Amino acid sequence: MIQSSSSPLPAEVNGSPLGTIQVISAKPLDIVDLLSQAHHPGAGAVVLFSGEVRDSNKGREVTCLEYESYVPLAVKIIHDILAEAREKWGLKVAIAQHRIGRLSIGESAVVVITTAAHRREAYEANQHIIHRIKHEVPIWKCEYFSDGGHQWGNNCNC
Amino acid sequence: MIQSSSSPLPAEVNGSPLGTIQVISAKPLDIVDLLSQAHHPGAGAVVLFSGEVRDSNKGREVTCLEYESYVPLAVKIIHDILAEAREKWGLKVAIAQHRIGRLSIGESAVVVITTAAHRREAYEANQHIIHRIKHEVPIWKCEYFSDGGHQWGNNCNC
Amino acid sequence: MIMKIHVYAKLKDFFSPEFELNAVARNTDELKLRLLEINEGAKNILDSCRFAIEEGFIDHDHKLKENDTVIIIPPSSGG
Amino acid sequence: MIMKIHVYAKLKDFFSPEFELNAVARNTDELKLRLLEINEGAKNILDSCRFAIEEGFIDHDHKLKENDTVIIIPPSSGG
């Protein structure tokens, strides 16, 4: 089997053909579409996490959020996190997508979907993936408050 | 405030007006509709679990499943489980719906959605609710196998 | 003494889903004995069942009455 | 020695998002010093940053070259 050794990505990511799912998205996340890609006949358990913009943080009223990212590195790290989780927990599907740009209250900032034969693995892997995405991926949040202030990098939204 | 003391149910269940969500459903579960009811401006974390019909169990090929339930008691117990979880974890929303009747491979048998300010509570409560639903609610599964056999009550699908 | 009996899941391999029982059964222990007289093969599953009337489980000392509808509840296997 | 510098998030309170630096900086330790000469207020945040070129992080002993584009990465706050 001949494979290009220079290709940095596997032929399949997220359990879908390469490129189907963009892990960093400037458009609103389409949770329904992502879920529709997460079904697998061998999976008895599907766990979806959505991190959504809250209307307040530590007592200050939030009007909107902005996320920015160093995209090339973020994409690579998220793919690595998903591949490692797929391997470690024997997942059938592992999908993640993080929004960038300006978000209103209630919009989804990040979605993680994991499916496995049994539910323990799906829950554990899902929590592991979102933890790593929040702490390791070059994505930064700026909160805009109703009092006119803003603040970068308060890593506690969800 | 005048309240009817004879009403066995709170005025609001599942975080929605009473009756909006049927916790036992003979129709296919509409995950998208359930998710659309789970958003809350104070919730930073939404966790959804879907238990789906796998194509095999312990090496035997499954063709379909059937669930039956003693519905009046099942409804009461699921409402109790959700109310207790909402209280214990301070959930903004707690929704559960279990399918009855005959299901094909890949169909969703049960959906649990929890939302909370932070993700730890949403994950924990979600796992707790599905665990209790599987073990305490009068719902029974019958697996039909491709070899013609069937088996009631093998509590290990997900 | 006539009661209505509803059974579910694996119990349907031993009994009709719904039937009338005409026998003396003042509590669920006695009801279990009457059911084993109908089909002794149900012993294992009956030993793991709970009993309910309407929307509540009943204990083994709950006094059964004429015309009660008793629901027999095998261990749950939802999800 | 000219490098391109890209900064993100809180670092933009101290530097332009993208700028050219004409200074001697053979590694990221020296680059950090050059950046503090531009704005010493960035010390705290710079001390918690990592550095990257293209799709990989670089260590403090990675040798920087003319025309490198160096990305300065504050602690993540996604999710």
What is the per-residue pLDDT across D8-50, written as a single tens digit (0 to 9) for each? 999 999 999 999 999 999 999 999 999 999 999 999 999 999 9
Minimal Cβ distance to B153: which of C10, C52, C55: C10
Cα–Cα distances (Å) from B133 to A62, B79, C67, in that order, read: 36, 10, 31
pTM: 0.89
Give the one of D10, D71, D77 whose C-beta lies nearest to A70's C-beta. D71
Nearest C-alpha neighbor of C69 from the set C5, C2, C8: C5
Q: Which residue has the tokens 């990675």?
A: D62
Residue B6 in tokens: 């004879």
Which string of DSSP letters, residue by residue, matches A89-110? HT-SEEEEEEE-EEEETT-EEE
Amino acid of residue B87: E
Query: CA A97 to CA A34: how far, in whole Å?
Result: 9
Give the model's pLDDT for residue B57.
Answer: 83
Joined together, the tokens standing for residue B9 give 């149910």
pLDDT band with cut points at 50, 70 and 90 for residue B154: low
Element spanning A36, H or E: helix A31-36
What local confidence, expressed as pLDDT, does residue C4 receive?
98
Rounded to an integer, what is the distance from CA B12 to the centroid of its chain? 17
Question: Using the 8-state DSSP alphabet, how is residue A38 labeled?
Answer: -
Residues 92-131 in A contacting D (C-alpha not used; CB under 8 Å): 98, 109-110, 130
Per DSSP, chain A holds a count of helices (H) and strands (E) of 3, 11
- The residue assigned the tokens 């008691």 is B73
Do B41 and A105 make contact, defined as CB atoms within 8 angstroms? yes
Q: What is the DSSP letter of B80?
A: H
Distance of CA A63 to the CA centre of its chain: 22
Q: What is the DSSP string of C25-48?
A: -SSHHHHHHHHHHH-GGGHHHHHT
A34 phi and psi, to 5 degrees?
-60, -45
Q: What is the pLDDT of residue B112?
A: 98
Q: Which chains touch A (3 or more CB pairs under 8 A)?
A: B, D
CB A38 within 8 A of CB A112: no
d(CA D56, CA D60): 13
| Residue B36, amino acid | S
Residues contacting A128, CB < 8 A, separation 6+: A85
- Stated as kind and residue range, the H or E segment containing A153 is none
Q: How does DSSP classify residue C10?
A: G
Q: What amino acid is encoded at C46 in this protein?
A: L
Note whether C78 contacts B110, CB cutoff 8 Å: yes
pLDDT at D43: 96
Read off the pLDDT band of A3 (50, 70, 90). Answer: very low
Task: Decide if pLDDT at A4 tops 70.
Answer: no
Arithmetic mean of pLDDT, A124-149 = 96
Find chain C residues with C-beta within 8 A of B8's C-beta: 55
The confidence band for B20, taking pLDDT boundaries of 50, 70 and 90, is low
If we measure between CA atoms, which residue out of A120, A99, A97 comes closest to residue A109? A99
For chains D and A, tell me whether 3 or more CB atom pairs sit within 8 A of each other: yes
Measured from the Cβ of residue B2, the count of other Cβ atoms closer than 10 Å reads: 4
Residue B152: phi and psi, rounded to 5, are -85, 140
CA atoms within 13 A on the CB side of B124: 12
Average pLDDT over residues A46-58: 92
pLDDT band at A87 (very low <50, low <70, confident <90, very high): very high
DSSP output for B15-58: TEETTSS-SEESSPP-HHHHHHT---TT-SEEEEEEEE--SEET
Alpha-carbon gap, residue B13 to B96, rounded angstroms: 10
User: Which phi-psi region, left, alpha or beta, contains residue B117 (left: φ > 0; alpha: ψ -120 to 50)?
Assistant: alpha
At residue B56, the pLDDT reads 85
Label residue B94 exposed, middle or buried (CB < 10 Å: 0-12, 13-18, 19+): buried
Using an 8 Å Cβ cutoff, are B7 and B82 in contact? no
Q: Under an 8 A CB cutoff, do C9 and B152 touch? A: yes
C55 contacts on B by Cβ (under 8 Å): 8, 72-73, 76
The pLDDT-based confidence of A155 (bands split at 50, 70, 90) is low
Nearest to A113 by CA among A9, A21, A10: A21
Q: What are phi and psi of C51, to 5 degrees?
A: -120, 145
pLDDT single digits (tens) C28-72: 999 999 999 999 999 999 999 999 999 999 999 999 999 999 999
Read off the amino acid at residue D3.
M
A158/B49 CB distance under 8 A: no
Q: What's chain C's Rg over C-alpha atoms?
A: 12
Q: What are B104's strand-pairing partners?
A: B64
Least Cα separation, residue D9 to chain A (angstroms): 6
Q: Which chains touch D (3 or more CB pairs under 8 A)?
A: A
CB atoms within 10 A of CB B92: 23
Q: Is the dihedral of CA A19, A31, B48, C55 positive or negative?
A: negative
Q: What's chain B's average pLDDT? A: 87
User: Residue B152, CB half-sphere, CA atoms under 13 Å: how many?
Assistant: 15
C9 touches B: beta carbon within 8 Å = yes
Cβ atoms < 10 Å from Cβ of D10: 20
Task: Tell me which chain C residues have a C-beta less than 8 angstroms from the C-beta of B134.
Answer: 76-79
Residue B10: its pLDDT value, please?
41
